[in-house]
Chain A
């Protein structure tokens, strides 16, 4: 491990421990780490966008002959009009383009790529019953989907058969929340494990090079 690598490891360890110190109570170390992280992220992001979008995809191609890129360039520039109240209305033009393009792309892709295949797969479970366990699975899927959808049907009071079905729907939703919660715990613990792994292996490991 070189001197520079040891320095890097110690800087990372310092910021990790500073952020963890918030679990005890708020303190200046935490605040310093938090502010540096926010500042660094913003600076890095601006630099990255400048290089990868403005330079590589606007300026360089324009200089190479794609002069028509000046139009999207102007539209993008007009976004900054929002900072000047008198001409802020100008920013609505590029926003209209963004809205139109986004809606056009998303409506098709969401319908074609998510809604229809998921509906098809749900119905496919019923279509593909082969034996008792498949039948049980298909029943759970059908009851689960219908009762959950009915729970979110608010145009009629949830009483009688509708109320009973909605209650079954709540059970399915709760089971789903339970699965999500279990996975979320695993995810959050993994974040901690990642940091502890770094501290134990890299940071503590660097002690042998120093002491």
Chain B
């Protein structure tokens, strides 16, 4: 019984330490946990594959830097898939803190691999406040909301934007989000303008958005780091999400073990106290 009493009174900092070790170890000694592809991720991949080559698509960086581990691998994989199909990519963000600069960094890093040139193959519109007005306004005119790109260049001076005026010229939108902006992309852009959409979101938001896949409002969904890892495997560019899934699986196993241990301790001590009293 002494053991269970110790477990009950354990300092929570020991748990933090164990979780920390469980996260660090897989980075030093990679453990290959299997990653299965969910139908939602496959549907997203298949839909993008089915798009005609060279169409214009939007890639939305609606996530804060804190969720980079989950969201950035999704954005990177999407860029690989879009550019393999020679798509023209418009990136933008409804997130003030970091969104536009993350879009800038990721696109400029991957573009040389596919010989893509800024202004001809991709453009970063940057950020504008009030996403409801932004999403609604772009339906009429992208230029009215974003007169310039993220660097201040007039959209009229960007060759790629010569034939892009509003959502009518956009064939697909991939929203990578760690917050509720995906709701507004669905309710304003998908519902009112009929643009097909896919979504990659953090694990916290994922359960809510499965309903949009069921209703056909999203063509597919990536849920959290697992979804990101699946997409990396689908585009055959395993990266940080696949590596991170080793740590993710380790911590999940640890948490399951701790929950079981805690419950056994709870019942054992309860039984012991009843017997004593």
Q: Which residues of A are at the interface with B, using a C-beta cutoff of 8 A?
A: 23-24, 41, 44-45, 48-49, 52-53, 56-57, 60-61, 102, 105-106, 109-110, 112-114, 117-118, 120-121, 125, 176, 179-180, 183-197, 200-201
Q: A44-B97, A189-B23, A193-B248 known; A184 and B192 CB under 8 Å?
A: no
- Which residues in A have their C-beta under 8 angstroms from that of B147? 56-57, 60-61
- Which residues in B have their C-beta under 8 angstroms from that of A188? 204
Q: A48-B127, A109-B184, A113-B187 known; A193 and B215 CB under 8 Å?
A: no
Distance in Å: Cβ of B139 to nearest Cβ of chain A: 11
List CB contacts (< 8 Å) of B136-189 with chain A.
136, 147-148, 183-184, 186-188
- Tell yes or no: B244 within 8 A of A by CB: yes
- Tell yes or no: B117 within 8 A of A by CB: no
- Which residues in B have their C-beta under 8 angstroms from that of A61? 147
- Which residues in B have their C-beta under 8 angstroms from that of A201? 27
Q: A105-B136, A112-B187, A197-B69 known; A187 and B243 CB under 8 Å?
A: no
Q: Name 21 interchain pairs, CB-CB below 8 A, sorted by A.
A: A48-B96, A48-B129, A49-B96, A49-B129, A53-B128, A105-B132, A109-B187, A109-B188, A113-B192, A114-B183, A125-B214, A187-B203, A190-B225, A191-B66, A192-B20, A193-B225, A194-B69, A194-B244, A195-B69, A196-B20, A196-B23
The answer to whether A200 and B28 touch across the interface, beta carbons within 8 angstroms, is yes
- Tell yes or no: B224 within 8 A of A by CB: yes
Q: A114-B186, A183-B203 known; A189 and B240 CB under 8 Å?
A: no
User: A117 — nearest CB in chain B belongs to which residue?
Assistant: B215
The answer to whether A52 and B211 touch across the interface, beta carbons within 8 angstroms, is no
Give the docked Cα–Cα distance between A37 and B243 (Å). 29
The answer to whether A194 and B68 touch across the interface, beta carbons within 8 angstroms, is yes
- Which residues in B have their C-beta under 8 angstroms from that of A191? 66-67, 69
User: B98 — nearest CB in chain A belongs to which residue?
Assistant: A44
- Tell yes or no: B24 within 8 A of A by CB: yes
User: A47 — nearest CB in chain B belongs to which residue?
Assistant: B96
Q: A45-B97, A117-B215, A197-B244 known; A52 and B129 CB under 8 Å?
A: yes
The answer to whether B24 and A200 touch across the interface, beta carbons within 8 angstroms, is yes
Distance in Å: Cβ of B33 to nearest Cβ of chain A: 13
Contact with A along B12-31 (1 / 0, CB 8 A): 01001001100110011000
User: A23 — nearest CB in chain B belongs to which residue?
Assistant: B16
The answer to whether B207 and A176 touch across the interface, beta carbons within 8 angstroms, is yes
Instruction: Report whether over half of chain B's contact residues are helix, strand or loop; otherwise say mixed.
Output: helix
- Tell yes or no: B226 within 8 A of A by CB: yes
Distance in Å: Cβ of A117 to nearest Cβ of chain B: 5
Give the docked Cα–Cα distance between A53 and B192 (Å). 25
- Which residues in A have their C-beta under 8 angstroms from that of B200? none
- Which residues in B have their C-beta under 8 angstroms from that of A109? 184, 187-188, 191-192
- Tell yes or no: B216 within 8 A of A by CB: yes
Distance in Å: Cβ of A46 to nearest Cβ of chain B: 10
Q: A41-B97, A117-B217, A190-B225 known; A197 and B27 CB under 8 Å?
A: yes
Give the docked Cα–Cα distance between A183 and B148 (Å). 38
- Which residues in B have their C-beta under 8 angstroms from that of A118? 211, 215
Distance in Å: Cβ of B66 to nearest Cβ of chain A: 6
Of A23, A180, A189, the residue contacting B251 (CB under 8 A) is A189
Residue among A24, A56, A117 with the highest chain B CB neighbour number at 10 A? A117
The answer to whether A186 and B252 touch across the interface, beta carbons within 8 angstroms, is yes
- Tell yes or no: B126 within 8 A of A by CB: yes
Give the docked Cα–Cα distance between A29 and B265 (Å). 36
The answer to whether A53 and B211 touch across the interface, beta carbons within 8 angstroms, is no
Of B13, B188, B206, B243, the residue contacting A24 (CB under 8 A) is B13
The answer to whether A189 and B187 touch across the interface, beta carbons within 8 angstroms, is no
User: B251 — nearest CB in chain A belongs to which residue?
Assistant: A189
Q: A190-B225, A191-B66, A196-B27 known; A113 and B211 CB under 8 Å?
A: no
